[in-house]
Amino acid sequence: MTIANGDFEFVSGLVQRESAISLPKGKEYLVEARLTPLARDTGLGSLPALVAELRQEASGELRRRVVDAMTTNETSWFRDRTPFEALGNGVLDRLVAARRGQGRVRVWSAGCSSGQEPYSIAMTVAPRLAAEGMTLDLVATDLSEEMVTRGKAGRYTDFEMKRGLSPQAREAHFSRVEDGWQISDELRAMVSFRSLNLAAPFPPLGTMDVVFLRNVLIYFDAETKAQVLERVGQLLAPDGYLFLGAAETTINVDERFTRTTVGGATVYRLDGKAAA
């Protein structure tokens, strides 16, 4: 079904206000593809009926479901590999040395989708930290409540398991369940999932040693990208590390960050000299 111009403008305005996800003209197909199934699921039947309901809805539940449906949750285990290799080697070596006194390392996976990213981080750093007598404090957040629920559950389909996870990691950390694979209680206990909108002021999260903010900024306009990076810069430790997605950068967006490489991966730091 083709969406009417007025309905598209209403939906894209609402999604922009609630999540900063940018839906310029030309994205009508995406709104149609995502909201037609929602119209069916909610019993409203058609896209025009769903938008009509949305225009007068008071509770906010349908609005939340529409915004959730417009998020793109594409992810995989150890996505792009090199960031995780850099994290597990050079970055962790430096953080273990710098944080030994505090006994813990704090990591934030922002825009964590269904959990593959934070669980990949946990698999990468937890064994080494345990061997050093240190702990991992890992927070994972997403705007989508559906994704937060999925991350907490830690249950994945056969298809999802095939995307980036080695047979060894599967054997070590998952058990077979009726409809897929269940991640171990040990890994689940390491990740604290919660919902958080990156486009609004952050709730208190404390100082982070590492921030993974990967493949999220691409959905925002230039002004929102700058605002999000400004807030991330405020909570990143002065000697901390920011990881972005392969198509993202701080360059020409937030000049406080310096781009550098660790083990073939690009990382961003507040103090370029500390990276030496």
Ligand X SMILES: C[S@@+](CC[C@H](N)C(=O)[O-])C[C@H]1O[C@@H](n2cnc3c(N)ncnc32)[C@H](O)[C@@H]1O
Residues at the contact surface with ligand X, assessed by CB under 6 A: 19-21, 71-75, 79, 111-113, 117, 142-144, 147, 197-199, 214-216, 219, 245
**Tokens 């994704």 correspond to what residue?**
147
Of 20 and 91, CB closest to ligand X: 20
Radius of gyration (C-alpha) of the chain in whole angstroms: 20
Of 12 and 71, CB closest to ligand X: 71
Please check whether residue 116 is in contact with residue 170, taking contact to mean a CB–CB distance below 8 angstroms.
Answer: no
Of 99 and 214, CB closest to ligand X: 214
- Write down the least CB distance from residue 103 to ligand X, Å: 28
Residue 104: CB atoms within 10 Å: 12
In the chain, the amino acid numbered 204 is P
- Write down the least CB distance from residue 236 to ligand X, Å: 17
- Write down the least CB distance from residue 72 to ligand X, Å: 5
Cα–Cα distance measured from residue 233 to residue 216, given in angstroms and rounded to the nearest whole number: 16
Full strand arrangement of the beta sheet holding 180-183: 155-156, 180-183, 174-177
Please check whether residue 111 is in contact with residue 175, taking contact to mean a CB–CB distance below 8 angstroms.
Answer: no
- Write down the least CB distance from residue 110 to ligand X, Å: 7
Of 113 and 250, CB closest to ligand X: 113
Full strand arrangement of the beta sheet holding 265-269: 191-195, 135-142, 104-110, 208-213, 236-244, 265-269, 258-262
Exposure string for 106-137, b = 16+ CB within 10 A, e = fewer: bbbbbbbbbbbbbbbbbbbbbebbeeeebebe
- Write down the least CB distance from residue 133 to ligand X, Å: 30
- Write down the least CB distance from residue 196 to ligand X, Å: 6
Of 12 and 144, CB closest to ligand X: 144
Of 134 and 211, CB closest to ligand X: 211
